[in-house]
């Protein structure tokens, strides 16, 4: 098969489409013939040599895919060759074939295009597990989503609105704020023009910035608020005012999905299929796709994401 190989850490040009050995199904694994994958910000860090794949993961980038089940290994439950699926991966999605534990594989929701399904697993599992399973966002509460126009943000807006929350986003331009409002967000803050913490009060904050926003996020939390940090685009360190946290009886969580054990990912995937997929089947939640790029030209897809002009997902397609 072919896969995108990171020849050495560096610029997008280091991504090269090469012939590599086919994966073989281990116990409990499925081989997916990949229709499409999608770019996640973590892939850019992996390409730059700043994010090692977890032990045992494929060396090729790609945290999600859609495709057709090709082979099933021993002890796989619920899937057969020919099934149309999408999957949460620990790596290896930028390829023609990928091996994945069956627990991380999902049916493609009804009405979703087989290519667009590639952009759902990572955002659905990340948003569902953090905002709903960990932070327990409730109907009527306010969710603040940083980077509302990101892949993660576009899913967070739709899911939180579907569950009856008030959604506020931050985004880097008036145009991106407008796109978030079109997707259902109630309010938007252009973070380049305004400090969100001056006017937002949230029960739950989904944060992708980390250190740079820590103090402002705590300031923006309501009493009983929950801050979930899933990204560190603004650094890993910040000053935490424990006094403010105590007075607000608030909590700060930090999580990552990629390195979790298979059984934890499996529990998230089952919950997503049970609670989120019916909303996708019904057309309440839709994949938000910026563009499609041939997988062999993954370098171009990385340039698009690095330029930061996208809204939603950049997909990588196999012919």
Ligand X SMILES: NC(=O)c1ccc[n+]([C@@H]2O[C@H](COP(=O)([O-])OP(=O)(O)OC[C@H]3O[C@@H](n4cnc5c(N)ncnc54)[C@H](OP(=O)(O)O)[C@@H]3O)[C@@H](O)[C@H]2O)c1
Which residues bind to ligand X, rule: CB under 6 A? 40-42, 122, 126, 146-147, 149-153, 170-172, 176, 191, 208-209, 230-231, 233, 255-257, 305, 308
H/E stretch holding 70 reads: strand 64-72
d(CA 65, CA 33): 9
- Shorter beta-carbon distance to ligand X: residue 112 or 145: 145
Considering the complex, what minimum distance in angstroms separates the CB of residue 298 from ligand X?
A: 15
Please give the torsion angle defined by the CA atoms of residues 151, 231, 202 and 222, in that order, rounded to the nearest 10 degrees.
170
- Shorter beta-carbon distance to ligand X: residue 33 or 271: 271
DSSP type of residue 195: -
Q: Exposure pattern of 239-256 as b/e (b: 16+ CB <10 Å)?
A: eeeeeebeeeebebeeee
Considering the complex, what minimum distance in angstroms separates the CB of residue 82 from ligand X?
A: 30
Considering the complex, what minimum distance in angstroms separates the CB of residue 189 from ligand X?
A: 9
Considering the complex, what minimum distance in angstroms separates the CB of residue 255 from ligand X?
A: 6
Considering the complex, what minimum distance in angstroms separates the CB of residue 26 from ligand X?
A: 24
- Shorter beta-carbon distance to ligand X: residue 231 or 287: 231
Burial of 111 (0-12, 13-18, 19+ CB in 10 A): exposed
- Shorter beta-carbon distance to ligand X: residue 31 or 197: 197
Number of helices (H), then strands (E), in the chain: 9, 15
d(CA 2, CA 154): 31
Would you call 105 helix, strand, or coil by DSSP? Answer: strand
- Shorter beta-carbon distance to ligand X: residue 33 or 134: 134
């Amino acid at each position: 098969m072919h896969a995108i190989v990171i020849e050495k850490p560096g610029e997008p040009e280091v991504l090269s489409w090469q012939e590599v050995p086919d994966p073989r199904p281990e116990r409990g694994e499925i081989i997916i013939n990949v229709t499409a994958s999608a770019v996640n910000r973590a892939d850019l860090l992996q390409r730059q040599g700043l994010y090692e794949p977890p032990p045992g993961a494929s060396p090729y980038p790609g945290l999600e895919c859609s495709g057709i089940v090709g082979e099933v290994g021993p002890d796989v439950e619920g899937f057969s060759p020919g099934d149309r699926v999408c999957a949460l991966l620990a790596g290896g999605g930028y390829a023609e074939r990928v091996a994945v534990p069956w627990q991380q594989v999902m049916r493609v929701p009804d009405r979703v295009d087989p290519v667009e399904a590639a952009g759902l697993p990572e955002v659905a599992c990340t948003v569902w597990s953090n905002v709903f399973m960990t932070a327990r966002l409730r109907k009527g509460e306010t969710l603040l989503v940083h980077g509302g126009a990101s892949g993660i943000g576009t899913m967070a807006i739709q899911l939180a609105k579907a569950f009856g929350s008030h959604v506020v986003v931050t985004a880097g331009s008036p145009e991106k704020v407008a796109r978030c409002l079109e997707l259902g967000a109630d309010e938007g803050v252009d973070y380049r023009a305004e400090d969100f913490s001056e006017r937002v009060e949230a029960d739950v904050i989904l944060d992708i910035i980390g250190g740079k926003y820590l103090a402002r996020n705590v300031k923006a939390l309501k009493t009983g608020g929950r801050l979930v940090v899933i990204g560190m685009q603004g650094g890993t360190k910040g000053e935490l005012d424990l006094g403010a946290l105590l007075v607000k009886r608030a909590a700060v969580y930090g999580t990552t999905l990629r390195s979790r054990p298979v059984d934890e990912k499996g529990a998230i995937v089952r919950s997503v299929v049970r609670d989120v997929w019916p909303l996708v089947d019904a057309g309440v939640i839709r994949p938000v796709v910026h563009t499609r790029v041939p997988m062999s030209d993954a370098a171009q897809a990385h340039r698009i994401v690095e330029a930061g002009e996208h809204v939603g997902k950049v997909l990588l397609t196999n012919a």
